[in-house]
Chain A
């Protein structure tokens, strides 16, 4: 009865025995296993959403690299280039990713005078309404296949982006000025009542700086 009391400070307590342990298994290990499974799943989901992809450059309170990058202060041109690269995938079906076109069908954009002209007013029109009839590019005359009004459904931003991309593409050795959405908007305004594709003849009347 009073054994606990005497345990306190009984100097003669030298012959105690070690306590024993039962070998019940019980239901707790099973439940714990299930709980660990559930927690691993829930924890995984949570980390998937909050841990920023385990990247070293995503900090709280942000959760993904994409979001963090979209918040970075960016050079406008860079952003247009990045977007332009996406939009160009529509053009590359014909003009090719290399910008070299297809012999006898699609003229090259790489090295094209109109693409590199100091003003973008002609190429904006081409993308908005398409192009037909003979045109001289890179010393060859192209005709037969017309270019459809591929950009009529694009936003001003997208057209500005793709044109900036073809004008500034370093891999093609291009380094012309960027095209702004405002410039595109201005041209779209002017040609709003036109639906027919342009001809090279008509376009030559549109001034693009020092070009012929």
Chain B
């Protein structure tokens, strides 16, 4: 460890100077995060397994429609949203918060404030997710994509989020680093971006009750805010952290990173209205135009990352967590380019109503964000818990399962979407004729889902056992050892 530290100290004198100011060592900082962050991670891992079970079920139903079709709780219209909601709110959002909290403590060199409050927030957040998912399964879905959970869970999640975010903001305010590492800007903005987008969309869709096509517009706005901006902010924060760390060089250009932040925040949330949508023409066209600006984010980002890492790309392959992050970074670029291309009208008209869009959102949410999170998680957890992973070899198994899963899921669905969209454009092709060719691609994408599930089981195995050792092992050992009568009396009393 010392080797990396010393090479970093040589990286920049200012970091050196700032170091002196903090009363806390990295170990202290980690300790402050330990309880809430580990809990957030292990519960995120749990929901991930749940999510992929439902995801697998949902894709199976696409080519085996008879499967569990007689049980209302397991019909496609409920299973599919459970998959997404568990992925987004069970895993991605709390996982993102966990990573943010740790980075926040480390980079502001301030111990996490009120960890108990965060823990309580996380605990009840999970209760909210449970209620929400059961709500969807029992048929109480709202029908708005990414917001299917019944409206009362919106309140639970929002309040719980505040419980987690307020201490995070306080940590930032009481920071010991005058001018913290740029990742912090992204995380700080993200802290506010989620409640803003979530509360706005829930209020409009589930409480005020927008009418007609405005529902779809508000929903697109929300999905884009969450998928592109919120996940983008946290994912990029992680990327920047690891880029400098892995290359053992200072991150290239503070100012260009700032530019990325502003471009993303200003132009990232306009997109996503498809050209075929039954909305006034200016909406999809404005979306398409702002997507042009998002390309600038990719260009500047490529410049920043390349100048930071060039010559050290190999270092990313040295350890599995870094590989996850590298994969996520590449997926961010691919997803950005795909978003841009599909916003162009002739392309949009072909792919807009097909599985292509599904491949697109998965590429962003999973290929980019989840993969980046996995990398951070594998990196952070052993430091927090101060334990080795119980099954270190499984980390690389998870990487390959997840990476192949993304490829096997995204590529076939994208191809299927293009084929199907092309056929749908031809007036003389009947609908079923246009849909049939996609069957084979759906079968392949199911293999991707199986890989996801296996990968998540592997992750949860590692996380779960580690968490057990961290949180319960001592406690269980005391009970088991308490064979002496005196202690037994104590327990009984």
Contact = CB atoms under 8 A, between A and B. Distances in A.
27 contacts: A5-B319, A8-B319, A11-B383, A11-B387, A13-B26, A13-B382, A14-B383, A15-B26, A16-B4, A17-B9, A18-B181, A19-B15, A20-B181, A21-B253, A21-B254, A22-B252, A23-B255, A24-B252, A26-B255, A28-B253, A29-B255, A32-B263, A32-B296, A43-B293, A46-B285, A60-B276, A62-B281
Nearest to B289: A43
Given A9-B378, A26-B253, 16 more contacts: A5-B318, A9-B388, A9-B392, A11-B383, A15-B5, A17-B9, A17-B19, A19-B181, A21-B244, A25-B253, A26-B307, A36-B293, A39-B292, A39-B293, A50-B281, A58-B280
Interface in A24-81: 24-26, 28-29, 32, 35-36, 39, 42-43, 46-47, 50-63
A19 B245 contact: yes
A1 B3 CA distance: 8
A62 B319 CA distance: 54
Interface in B1-48: 1, 3-5, 8-9, 11-12, 14-15, 19, 25-27, 30
Interface of A: 1, 3-26, 28-29, 32, 35-36, 39, 42-43, 46-47, 50-63
A40 B295 CA distance: 13
Contacts of A32: 259, 263, 296, 299-300
Contacts of A19: 8, 11, 15, 181, 241, 244-245, 250-251
A113 to B, nearest CB: 50
Contacts of B253: 21-26, 28
Contacts of A9: 378, 382, 388-389, 392
Contacts of A42: 292
Contact of A21 (B9, B257, B378, B383): B257
Contacts of A50: 281, 285
Interface residues of B, number: 76
A31 B65 CA distance: 53
A59 B278 contact: yes
B78 interface: no
Query: Considering residues B303, B319, B321, B395, which has the most beta carbons from chain A within 10 angstroms of its beta carbon?
Result: B319
